[in-house]
Every structure is written in C-alpha cells, then in structure tokens.
Amino acid sequence: MLFQIQNLMHDNFTQAELIPSLLEIDNHKHLLLIGPSGCGKSTLLNLISGLMPITAGDIIFNGQSYTQLSAKQLDHLRASNFGFIFQKLNLIGHLTALQNISLAQHNKDRGHIDFLLNALDLSEFSHQKAKDLSHGQAQRVAIARALANKPSVIFADEPTSALDDKNADHVMNLIFEQAKVTGASIIAATHDARIKERFDTVLEVGR
Amino acid sequence: MNDFQLITSSLKNRWLNVFLSVLLTALGVTLVIIITQFGHHIHSRLTTDGKNIDIVIGAKGSPLQLVLSSIYHIDVPTGNIPFREAQKWMKHPHVKHAIPLALGDSWKGHRIVGTSHSYIQHYKAEIMTGRAWQDKYEVVVGAAVPLNVDNHFIGAHGLSGHNHQHDNHPYTVVGKLKPSGTVLDRLILTSVNSVLDVHGQDDIHLDHSSEDEHAAHDHDAHHGHHDEHGHQDEHAGHNHNHTESIHSPSEITAILIKTKTPIANINLPRTINKNSALLAANPALETARLSAALGIGVESFTTLSFFVIVIAALSIFSGLAGSLENRSGDLAVLRAIGYTKTRIIKIILAEGAVITTAGLCVGGLAGIFGFNALCHAIAPLQASGAQFTMTYMTATFIVIIFIAGVMAALVPAIRAANIDIIKQLSTRP
C-alpha cells in the first residue's frame, strides 16, 4: 500500500465532503482527482503531498503516518519520495534548466539528469536560463525536475489545463513514460476530462 | 546543484540590491576603521608623548595650554619663567627627573627646542646618523624633519616659521634621530643655551650627571628680568630681543618633571601653585579634559562607531527583507521540493554573510587606504607618523560588524523559512 488516507479533515472541509472516509492507493497505480474549479481537488492534492497540514484524520505513506512525523521529517519524506509538477510550473527564473532540474536531486546522480535531458529533448537548452525558455521547454524542465530524484510518487496539479489536445497528449505521454521508467505512481488533480483514461482510479472530488 | 551555487546565482540575480548593501556596509566599515584609527592614534600619541611626565611647570596661564605646548608641541606656550625660579623646583627632593624646555623659534613649522640630552633619553629615542649636540647652534633633528646631517638652516622667531629670521645665528645639523613614534620625530633639538643665546640671554650650565639642571652662572642679579613681547601670542616662548646684543637674564619655557612618588604628583603642584609665581599642571588631568572637550574619548568613538554599525546592519536587513517579496515564490519551490526550514535559514544567513564579508573586504581596504591617505594629506597626522595599525578595537569592530551583518539576515531568514508554500506557489505569476 502506497497511501492510506483516513477520515481526512481540513479547516475548509471534511473528507466526507470530498472523498470516501478511507482512500487507499496501491504502489505503481495512478490516481486522478477530477472536478470543477474550486471543488477542493488542489487542496486535497496538497494535503496528500504534505504541503498543507491536516487538521484531523491521517495520511499514511509507506507505513509512515504524517501525524507522527515532525515538520523536518515530512520535508525529508517529500524530498526523497515525491516529485512535483506545479500548475504554474514554478521554475526558478535565474537558474538554468539544468540547475532547476538538479535542484530537486539530493543524491547527485548526474547520469540520471543526463538521461532526463535526453529523454525530454532538453540537452540543447540545458544551460539556458529558465526565464528565457519557451512554455513548452519550461514544461519539460518542470517534468524533468519532478523526476530528478527518482520519486515513488509524482504529484501533478492541472498538468494540461492550458494546453490544446495535441500538447496535452504529448505532456501526458512524457509524464507517464518517465513514471514507467522510474516506477512512480502519479497523483494528479485536474478539471480536464481528456486525460481520465490514462489513470487507474478516477475520483470525482466533491461528489 | 549545491547551496553555494544557489546563493551566488541568487545574489547575481539581485546584483543592484546586493551592490548597494555591500556599498553601505563598506561605507560603515570604512568609517569605523577611520574613526577607530584616529582614536587609536590620538590616544597613542597622548599616552606615548605624555608617558612618565607627572608635572609640567611653566608660566601662569592655562594649564591645558601649558601641557599642550610643552609635551605635545601643539599650542603656543603660556610664557617664560626665570631659570633661577625654575631651578628651585628642579632640585626639589620629590623630583626624580627634570627636563628643561626653551621654546620660541621654529624652522618651517618644526619647533626648535632648547633642552638637555635627557629629553632624548626620556623617549628612548636613538640617533640614526651623526651625534648629539655638543656646542651652541648644533642641533639634532627628528625623523620627520626634512633636514640631514651637515645641513645648515636659520631659525625663525615664533612657532609658525613665517616670522623674523635670526640671520646671525645659523644652526648646523649634527645628528638625526631614528623614527620613535613620539613627538621628537617632528622637533629640532638643541641645547638650552643655543635658544638663550639667540634671544640674547645668559647661558645656563647643565649638570648631566644628575640629570638635573642648574645654573652655574645666574646672571639675574646683573641684568634683572626683561620681558618685552608678552607671552600669549604666536611669539610666546622666548622673548625676542631684536638687537640681540645685550644679554638679559636666563628664562626657559617649561620643565617636564617626573616625581619620585605618586603622592608627590598631587602635593607638588599644589605647593608650586600656592607658593610661587609659576604654574604646575598635571598632564594626565589636562589630557583627560582635552579628550572630553574634543569628544574624542573612548565612549564617543564607541558610540559613533556603534551607530555606523547599526546603519550597515540595517542596510543588509533592508536588502534581504526587501528582496524576499520578489523571491518568495522561489523559496516556496525550494520548500515544496523538500528544502527544510533550517536549510532555508542557512541559505539566507549565508547570503547575509557573503554581503557582509564583501562589505568588510571592500570597506577594510578603503578604510586602510583612506586612513593612510588622510595621514599623508593632513600635516599634523603626517608629522606625527600616523599610519594604519590593526588594533584590538578595530579588530573587535570588524568581528562585531560581521556578526551584526549575519544577525541582520536572521529575521528575513526566519520569515523566508516560514512562508506559506501553497499561497506563494498559487499566486506566483
């Protein structure tokens, strides 16, 4: 079992308002949180990824209870196990593409960075500042950053919301291909129904 | 990518902000160095030049003026005193050493001081070239006086060097002192009799064996007291007899005294001031008053330097705190991908340390070169041989500035570590 989410509560809602009182996610399985804007799917994603503190209930990741971990231990858990693809990409503009990717890598595996640069067709731009990249290049850098630490879970918030069909398909292909290589699970939050078929479990948040 | 690369990249990205912080810090460091160096130099000169001089005896007037003119040679003397009267106190049983000084003339701003060889010995100065004076009109010059052995010059009446010259009495340089870091460096030393002779006064005879001076021939009885110029102007010092043909009674300007006991430091001046027409001043007391009057006491320097350090620290604080607004999104990314709060604090503190260190290096160099440049540009400093010396106080201030700089980064660092990750990531453009 990768995740076990029990009776989750937050200041703004109870789990009952969002998802079942017990939600389990198996290893190597992909979960999609789908729903309209403002339904709480991003909040749920942030809670599961440990970016937001839970008010009540518990989230257990690989046997480790979030409520039992200190803030520092939770930071370490996130750094070692999770990769993030943010809705606004959130690259650090004054760093190069290569630096943005290696920023998330804590084990100094240069070989894996080179592999990602090649796989995502970024070698040519690796020394270009992130602020100077096109949106497509920046999106690929953000995916590479999420994979740099060979995470067991990739969290993606609205990964295709601003993309046309072709690009949305391309981005999801990249994410799933790389997740397959590293054996990572993907947990994504979106209102984009085009990508539903790719996930093992689709949870309609707020229904 | 390690944290150092992240820090340097972040600083480069905010180069203007960083540059201003470094500049302000450097300015603070420069001021602190110059202030502490001035303080050190003045304190050093006051203590070095006044060391082992317990009492100064001279003509009635301002005690501070007497001390400044006789020990530090930076003011006009209060007047002259009859050597016969002075001799009584020089031979007083409580007096250990007494050094006579006869002032009144100068050469290009360097005072010609009629004295005994014990004046050189008092400051433990050594002759670099030549020898000590033996006869009248032979002089030994200090290291900062632009004269060499065998040079000849004519002294001018008064202490500014722009007055009437004693054309009939050329001096010959017979020795030059090694730099001693004392007032001797900028003086021209000769026998008391040289100065007396120039001014048409009778010789006195010195007893070198006892380090005391006494008159073997006192001609007061023959000539009477003669004072034609007064004592409180630029020409104060030896009265100048323009005819220089009729000798008048011997007068000297001051006596520097070392007493035998500390209690004599207190009692002897009281006795002199009460029972004679002379003035006895305590140099330690007068220099303390001078420090207080000029605001150059240690407390003044410390307070001023403290404010400069606060300004430097505030500049670092404002630089880092101001930049937080623009980089909170970047910091939120770092927090999200697993950078701990402690690591974020270390990164921001390190940025503060880099800015402070850069400011210290730039300000340190500017302070050293600036102070040395001032020492060359300002005549009294140049004359007194001032130059940068790493002192305990300067080193202490540098350490305090570094700590203050890093501490100034602490509040922004804690704020950075506690940013709302989700809010920053969602509101980031």
Q: Which of B146, B144, B140, B147 is nearest to B188 (CA)?
A: B140
Query: What digits encode the pLDDT tens for the residues B344-402?
Result: 999 999 999 999 999 999 999 999 999 999 988 886 677 667 888 898 888 988 898 88
Alpha-carbon distances of B171 from B110, B160, B242, B418, rounded to whole Å: 14, 18, 18, 79
Q: Is the minimum CB–CB distance between B9 and chain A shorter than 8 Å? A: yes
What's the CATH code of the domain at A51? 3.40.50.300
Alpha-carbon distances of B140 from B115, B186, B276, rounded to whole Å: 11, 11, 34
Contact at CB, A103 and B1, closer than 8 angstroms: yes
CA distance A163 to B3: 34
User: Residue B372: its pLDDT value, please?
Assistant: 92
Contact B102, B240 (CB under 8 A): no
B190-199, B346-355, B385-394, B410-419: range with lowest mean pLDDT: B385-394
Contacts of A91 in chain B (CB under 8 A): 333
Most A-contacting residue of B331, B337, B427 (CB-CB within 10 A), to test interface: B337
Query: What digits encode the pLDDT tens for the residues A97-152?
Result: 999 999 888 777 888 899 889 888 899 999 999 999 998 899 999 999 999 988 99
Contact B176, B129 (CB under 8 A): yes
pTM score, whole prediction: 0.73
> What is the widest separation between alpha-carbon atoms in chain B?
106
Q: Which residue of A has its CA nearest to B3?
A: A103
Cβ within 8 Å of residue A166, ≥6 positions away: none
CA distance B309 to B31: 9
CA distance B309 to B402: 10
A6-20, B4-18, B355-369, B385-399: range with lowest mean pLDDT: A6-20
Cβ within 8 Å of residue A13, ≥6 positions away: A40, A43
CA distance A156 to A154: 6
Q: Is the minimum CB–CB distance between B334 and chain A shorter than 8 Å? A: yes
Q: Which of B60, B119, B57, B118 is nearest to B257 (CA)?
A: B57
How close B381 gets to chain A, by Cα (Å)? Answer: 50
User: Residue B293: its pLDDT value, please?
Assistant: 67
Average pLDDT in chain B: 82
Query: What digits encode the pLDDT tens for the residues B76-91?
Result: 888 899 988 888 889 8
How close B415 gets to chain A, by Cα (Å)? Answer: 16
- Domain limits at A12? 3-204
Residue B378 tokens read as: 């300002």
ipTM of the complex: 0.91
Contacts of A84 in chain B (CB under 8 A): 336-337
Average pLDDT in chain A: 88
Helix (H) or strand (E) holding A58: strand A56-61
Contact at CB, A94 and B329, closer than 8 angstroms: no
Higher pLDDT: B303 or A134? It is A134
The backbone region for A61, taken as left when phi is positive above 0, alpha when psi lies in -120 to 50, beta otherwise, is beta
CA distance B276 to B269: 10
CA distance A119 to B168: 101
DSSP code per residue over B104-131: EEEETTEEEEEE-THHHHHTT--EEEE-
Residue B114 tokens read as: 């009629």
Confidence of residue B249 (pLDDT cuts 50, 70, 90): confident
Query: What digits encode the pLDDT tens for the residues B267-284?
Result: 899 999 998 889 999 998
Q: Which residue of A has its CA nearest to B14?
A: A94
What is the number of domains present in chain A? 1
B107-116, B194-203, B230-239: range with lowest mean pLDDT: B230-239
Most B-contacting residue of A77, A80, A85, A95 (CB-CB within 10 A), to test interface: A95
Q: Is the minimum CB–CB distance between B336 and chain A shorter than 8 Å? A: yes
Helix (H) or strand (E) holding B272: helix B262-275
Burial class of A178 by CB neighbour count within 10 A (0 to 12, 13 to 18, 19+): buried
How close B411 gets to chain A, by Cα (Å)? Answer: 20
Contacts of B426 in chain A (CB under 8 A): 42, 87-88
Contact A117, A144 (CB under 8 A): yes
Q: Taking the mean position of all CA atoms in its chain, how far away is CA B362? A: 25
User: Residue B166: its pLDDT value, please?
Assistant: 64
Cβ within 8 Å of residue B198, ≥6 positions away: B105, B155, B166, B169, B238, B244
Higher pLDDT: A197 or B246? It is A197
Contacts of A80 in chain B (CB under 8 A): 338
